[in-house]
C-alpha cells in the first residue's frame, strides 16, 4: 500500500515561504509527476514527503498515518537522487544491499533480494564493480536498484534523468515507467521537463511559486488547463495567447490557441493574418513563427511541409472548438 | 601545445631553477658523504684523516643509536595516533553549525602557527613545571602531588607537546575533507535507515581514508626530524630517554664535536627515512590512487 495525502503542507525557510499550503491525494500505485519551473518548490515538496526536511505546517499522511514526526527511514519510502548519491567506495552489490543491511536482514536474504533487483535492472554483470566504473545510465539503474530492493510504499524520484544525454533519457524514461507499472508501487517523480511529465505520469501536479496550480491527468491538463500558467507550461511549442479584440469577441480577457490548432493558409482569407518570420522545418512538422502585427508573435505547427519561407504572407485560422478562454485573473472560463 | 619549439623553450627556461635546486641538494650531500669518511673532530682541527667506514661502524654500534631509533619510532607513531584519533572527532564537531564557529575554528587552528620553540617553552614553564606550572596547580587543587613531567614521563611529555602542535593540521585537513562529502550521500544513507554511527562508519570514514593518508604521510616527514621541542625541554634526557635520531646527530656534532660520526649518522638517517617512506607508501599509499 502506498497512499499519500498532503493536507495544507507548508514550508518556510526563515521568512521565505517555499510551499504555501499544498493539498494532494495520491492514490496507491499511481505515478504522479511534480512539474514546474525552477524554484517552484517541487523538490522541496518531495523532500518534505521524504522527511529530509521538516514541515512548517500541515500534515503528511502515508496510508492514513501522519508521518510528520517520523524519521525518513521509518516512512517506508525510498528515494532516487539527482546526483544518484551512490556510495563511491562500495560495490554495486554493497550499494544496493546497504539499506537492507541497516535494517538487519539476514545475509542470504539480502543476497537473494539484491540479485533479484539486479536481474530486473540488467545489472547482474556489474554487481562487483564500483560506481566510478559504470556509465551514467548504469549508475542511474544502481540508484533505482537501491530504491526498489527495500520494497517501499512509494518511490521518490528527484529529477533522476537530468544528468543523462537525450537518447539515454528517452530510454530510461521508458524503463522507469515500465518498472513502476510492473511493481505497481506508488511513485512521485520531480522534473522540470514537461515532456517527461506528459509521457510518464498517470497524474501531473503543476507547481508554480509554491502553489499547486492544477492536479490532473496529462490529457486533462492539455485539454482543460485551469489557468494561464498551466496552459503556457504544458505543451510544446507553447500555447499562443492573444488579448484585445479577438479575445473580446469570445467574451474573455485572453484567449489561447495551441500551435497545433492553428490552421495555416498561404495568402488565405479570414483568421489572423501575418508574415512568416522564421520557419523551422523538421520534416515531419513545420514550426512557423508568424508576426501577426497587433496580435504579436504567434507560433503555428503544420504537420508535413508547406514550403513556406520567411517573408511569406499567411493566414492563421484557429480551430473554434480548441480555443481556450481566460478571465481577467487568468482563470479558465469553461462554457 | 607540446611542439618542439615550446619543449625547447620550456627546457631552457627551467634549466636555471633546476640547476640551482640540484646544486643546493648535491653540494651538502656530497660534503656530508665526504665528511662521513673522515676522522674529523672540531676540538682537533687540521688532523682530518681518511678512515673509510669507521664512522658508520662507530655510529651504528653506539648503544645510543638503537635507543634513539626506538624513541624516534615511538614519537612518530604516538603523535600520528593522537592527532588522527582526536582529529577525526574534532573535525566532525567543527563541521557542525554552531554559534561562534569561526572563532572556535581559529582557536583550534592557532597552535599550528606557534613556533615549536615557543610552544615547547610555554609547555615547559607555564604548563608542566612541577612548581609553578598550571598542571601542578590543578593537581594541588585535588590534593594530589605535582607531576614532574620531564623527569617522570619525559618521552610522553615531548609526545604531548608535539601532538598538540600537529593536531590542528590533522583537524584542518580532515575538516576540509568532511566539507567535500556529498550532502546527498548522507541523505541517501538517512533514507536507507543508517543511524548516525552507521553513517560515520560506512559513509564518512571511507570518505576520510584519503585525507588520513595525506595526514600520515606529511606528518611522518616532519615528525622524523623533531628537534626544537626536545632541545628546549629535555635536552635529550634524562639519559637517552628523549633522544631521537635528529637529536643524536646534533649531539654528535655540536656536543661531542665529532663531525665525521655526525655526518655518518646523517646519512643513516636519510636511509632510515627512505625505508620508512617506502613502507608507508606501500601500506597507506594505496588510498591515494584514484
Average pLDDT of span A225-235: 90
If asked whether residues A163 and A143 sit together in one domain, one would say yes
**Are A81 and B188 within 8 A, CB to CB?**
yes
Residue A251 pLDDT class (50, 70, 90 cuts): confident
For residue range B29-62, list pLDDT tens digits in order. 999 999 888 888 888 888 888 888 888 888 888 8
Beta bridge partners of A254: A243, A326
pLDDT(B4) > 80: no
Residue with cell 594530589: B144
Task: Examine residue A334 and state whether it is found in any structural domain, yes or no.
Answer: no
Structure confidence at residue B182 (pLDDT): 84
* pLDDT at residue A293, as a whole number: 81
Q: Which residue of A has its CA nearest to B186?
A: A85
Nearest partner of A7 among A36, A49, A69, A52, judged by Cα: A49
Note the ipTM here. 0.79
Size of interface A-B (CB pairs under 8 A): 60
Window from A161-165, B68-72, B158-162 with minimum mean pLDDT: A161-165
Would residue A269 count as lying in a domain?
yes
pTM of the model: 0.78
Residue A333 falls within a domain, yes or no? no
- A130 in a structural domain: yes
Q: Other C-beta atoms within 10 Å of B89: how many?
A: 12
Write down the pLDDT at residue B114.
Answer: 87
pLDDT tens, position by position, A290-301: 988 888 889 999
Q: Is residue A148 one of the residues assigned to a domain?
A: yes
Range of the domain at A303: 237-326
Of B185, B195, B209, the CB nearest to A85: B185
Does residue B101 or residue A254 have the better pLDDT? A254
List pLDDT tens digits, range A89-98: 898 998 998 9
Candidates A83, A86, A89; nearest CB to B206: A89
Q: Which residue, of A179, A208, A232, is where some domain finishes?
A: A232
Contact A85/B188, CB-based, under 8 Å?
yes
Question: CA–CA distance from B130 to each of A43, A118, B144, B164, B232 (Å)?
Answer: 62, 67, 12, 20, 16
Pairs from A25-28 (Cβ < 8 Å, separation ≥ 24): A26/A154, A26/A186, A26/A188, A26/A203, A27/A3, A27/A186, A28/A1, A28/A2, A28/A3, A28/A186
What is the rounded end-to-end Cα distance, in angstroms, of chain B? 26
- Asked if A151 is an interface residue toward chain B (Cβ–Cβ < 8 A), one would say no
pLDDT digits (tens, 9 = 90+) for A104-148: 888 898 989 898 888 888 888 888 889 888 888 888 889 988 988
Q: Check: CB of residue B186 under 8 Å from CB of residue B269.
A: no
| Same domain (yes/no): A224, A276 | no
For residues A65-72, average pLDDT: 88
* pLDDT over 60 (residue A242): yes
pLDDT in tens, B140-151: 888 888 788 888
Please give the pLDDT value at position A15.
87
The answer to whether residue A146 neighbours chain B at the CB level (below 8 Å) is yes
State the average pLDDT over residues A13-41. Answer: 88
> Which of A232, A267, A291 is at the close of a domain?
A232
Model pLDDT for residues B244-265, shown as the tens digit of each residue: 888 988 888 888 888 888 888 8
| A38 and A156 together in one domain | yes
State whether A280 and A312 are in the same domain. Answer: yes
Sort out which chain B residues have CB atoms less than 8 A from A150's CB and list them: 192
Q: Which CATH number covers residue A309?
A: 2.40.50.140
Does B202 contact A87 at a Cβ distance shorter than 8 Å? yes
pLDDT for A268: 67
Q: Nearest CA to B206 among B228, B189, B231? A: B189
Confidence band for B236, pLDDT divided at 50, 70 and 90: confident
Please check whether residue B186 is in contact with residue A85, taking contact to mean a CB–CB distance below 8 angstroms: no
Q: Are residues A78 and A116 in the same domain?
A: yes
CATH number at residue A95: 3.40.50.300
Option in A74, A77, A81 nearest B188 (CB) = A81
Question: Residue B2: pLDDT above 70?
Answer: no
The pLDDT score that the predictor gives to residue B38 is: 86
Q: Return the pLDDT at B290.
A: 53
Closest CB to A79: pick one of B182, B191, B198: B191
Per-residue pLDDT, averaged over B58-72, amounts to: 88
pLDDT of residue B1: 55
Confidence (pLDDT) at B167: 92
CA distance B206 to chain A (A): 7
Judged by a CB distance cut-off of 8 A, whether residue A82 touches chain B is yes
Residue A83 has pLDDT above 80, yes or no: yes
Query: Is A165 found in the same domain as A312?
Result: no
**Strand partners of residue A214:** A206
pLDDT exceeds cutoff 80 at B15: yes
Give the total number of structural domains in chain A: 2
Among partner residues B187, B198, B209, which is closest to A102 by beta-carbon distance?
B198
Q: Please identify, among A213, A232, A251, the residue that sits at the C-terminal boundary of a domain.
A: A232
Task: Kindly state the helix (H) or strand (E) to which residue A254 belongs, with its residue range.
Answer: strand A254-257
Distance, in Å, from the CA atom of B135 to the CA atom of B123, rounded to the nearest integer, reads 10
Q: Using a CB–CB cutoff of 8 Å, tell me whether A162 touches chain B.
A: no
Cell of B211: 585525507
Q: Which of residues 195-224 of B touch A (CB under 8 A)?
A: 195, 198, 202-203, 206-207, 209
pLDDT of residue B41: 82
- Mean predicted lDDT score pLDDT of chain A: 88
Average pLDDT, chain B: 86
Which chain B residue is nearest to residue A50, measuring alpha carbons? B191
Residue from the list A72, A86, A89 with its beta carbon closest to the beta carbon of B191? A72
Please report whether residue A331 resides in a domain: no
Same domain, A92 and A208: yes
Residue A93 sits in the same domain as residue A228: yes
Chain A CB within 8 Å of residue B182 CB: yes
Residue A304: pLDDT band with limits 50, 70, 90: confident
Predicted pLDDT at B77: 93
User: A204 and A191 share a domain?
Assistant: yes
Query: Cβ contact (<8 Å) for B191 and A103?
Result: no
Amino acid at each position: 500500500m502506498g497512499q499519500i495525502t498532503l493536507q495544507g503542507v507548508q514550508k518556510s525557510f526563515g521568512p521565505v515561504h517555499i510551499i504555501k499550503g499544498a493539498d494532494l491525494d495520491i492514490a496507491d500505485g499511481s505515478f504522479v509527476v511534480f512539474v514546474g519551473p525552477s524554484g517552484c518548490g517541487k523538490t522541496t515538496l518531495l523532500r518534505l514527503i521524504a522527511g529530509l526536511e521538516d514541515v512548517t505546517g500541515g500534515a503528511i499522511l502515508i496510508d492514513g498515518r501522519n508521518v510528520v514526526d517520523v524519521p525518513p527511514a521509518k516512512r517506508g519510502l525510498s528515494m532516487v537522487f539527482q546526483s544518484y548519491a551512490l556510495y563511491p567506495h562500495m560495490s554495486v552489490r554493497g550499494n544496493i544491499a546497504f539499506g537492507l543491511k541497516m535494517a538487519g536482514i539476514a545475509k542470504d536474504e539480502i543476497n537473494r533480494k539484491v540479485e533479484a533487483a539486479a536481474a530486473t535492472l540488467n545489472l547482474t554483470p556489474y554487481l562487483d564493480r564500483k560506481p566510478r566504473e559504470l556509465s551514467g545510465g548504469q549508475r542511474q539503474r544502481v540508484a533505482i536498484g537501491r530504491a526498489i530492493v527495500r520494497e517501499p510504499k512509494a518511490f521518490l524520484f528527484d529529477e533522476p534523468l537530468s544528468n543523462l544525454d537525450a537518447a539515454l533519457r528517452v530510454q530510461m524514461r521508458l524503463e522507469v515507467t515500465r518498472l513502476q507499472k510492473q511493481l505497481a508501487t506508488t511513485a512521485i517523480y520531480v522534473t522540470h521537463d514537461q515532456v517527461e511529465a506528459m509521457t510518464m505520469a498517470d497524474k501531473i501536479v503543476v507547481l508554480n511559486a509554491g502553489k499547486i496550480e492544477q492536479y490532473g491527468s496529462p490529457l486533462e491538463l492539455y485539454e482543460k488547463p485551469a489557468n494561464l500558467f498551466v496552459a503556457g507550461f504544458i505543451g510544446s511549442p507553447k500555447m499562443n495567447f492573444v488579448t484585445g479584440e479577438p479575445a473580446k469577441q469570445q467574451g474573455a480577457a485572453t484567449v489561447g490557441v495551441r500551435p497545433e490548432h492553428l490552421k495555416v493558409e498561404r495568402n488565405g482569407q479570414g483568421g489572423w493574418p501575418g508574415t512568416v518570420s522564421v520557419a523551422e522545418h523538421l520534416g515531419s512538422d513545420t514550426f512557423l513563427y508568424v508576426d501577426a502585427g497587433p496580435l504579436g508573435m504567434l507560433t503555428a505547427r503544420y504537420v508535413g511541409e508547406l514550403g513556406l519561407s520567411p517573408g511569406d504572407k499567411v493566414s492563421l485560422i484557429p480551430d473554434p472548438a480548441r480555443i481556450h478562454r481566460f478571465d481577467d485573473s487568468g482563470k479558465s472560463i469553461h462554457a | 601545445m607540446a611542439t618542439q619549439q615550446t619543449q625547447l623553450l620550456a627546457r631552457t627556461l627551467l634549466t636555471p631553477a633546476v640547476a640551482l635546486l640540484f646544486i643546493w641538494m648535491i653540494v651538502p650531500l656530497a660534503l656530508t658523504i665526504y665528511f662521513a669518511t673522515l676522522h674529523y673532530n672540531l676540538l682537533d682541527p687540521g688532523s682530518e684523516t681518511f678512515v673509510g667506514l669507521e664512522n658508520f661502524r662507530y655510529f651504528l654500534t653506539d648503544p645510543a643509536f638503537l635507543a634513539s631509533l626506538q624513541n624516534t619510532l615511538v614519537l612518530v607513531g604516538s603523535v600520528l595516533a593522537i592527532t588522527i584519533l582526536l582529529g577525526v572527532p574534532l573535525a566532525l564537531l567543527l563541521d557542525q553549525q554552531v554559534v561562534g564557529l569561526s572563532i572556535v575554528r581559529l582557536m583550534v587552528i592557532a597552535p599550528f602557527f606557534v613556533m615549536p620553540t615557543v610552544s615547547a617553552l610555554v609547555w615547559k614553564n607555564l604548563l608542566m613545571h612541577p612548581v609553578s606550572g598550571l598542571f601542578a596547580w590543578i593537581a594541588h587543587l585535588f590534593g594530589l602531588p605535582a607531576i614532574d613531567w620531564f623527569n617522570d614521563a619525559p618521552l610522553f611529555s615531548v609526545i604531548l607537546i608535539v601532538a598538540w602542535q600537529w593536531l590542528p593540521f590533522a583537524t584542518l585537513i580532515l575538516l576540509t575533507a568532511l566539507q567535500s562529502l556529498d550532502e546527498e550521500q548522507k541523505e541517501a544513507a538517512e533514507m536507507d535507515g543508517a543511524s548516525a554511527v552507521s553513517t560515520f562508519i560506512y559513509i564518512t570514514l571511507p570518505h576520510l581514508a584519503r585525507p588520513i593518508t595525506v595526514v600520515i604521510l606529511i606528518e611522518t616527514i616532519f615528525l622524523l626530524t623533531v628537534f626544537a621541542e626536545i632541545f628546549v625541554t629535555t635536552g635529550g634526557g634524562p639519559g637517552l630517554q628523549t633522544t631521537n635520531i635528529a637529536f643524536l646527530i646534533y649531539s654528535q656534532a655540536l656536543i661531542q664535536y665529532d663531525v665525521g660520526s655526525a655526518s655518518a649518522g646523517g646519512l643513516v638517517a636519510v636511509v632510515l627515512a627512505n625505508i620508512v617512506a617506502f613502507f608507508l607508501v606501500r601500506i597507506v599509499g594505496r588510498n591515494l590512487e584514484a
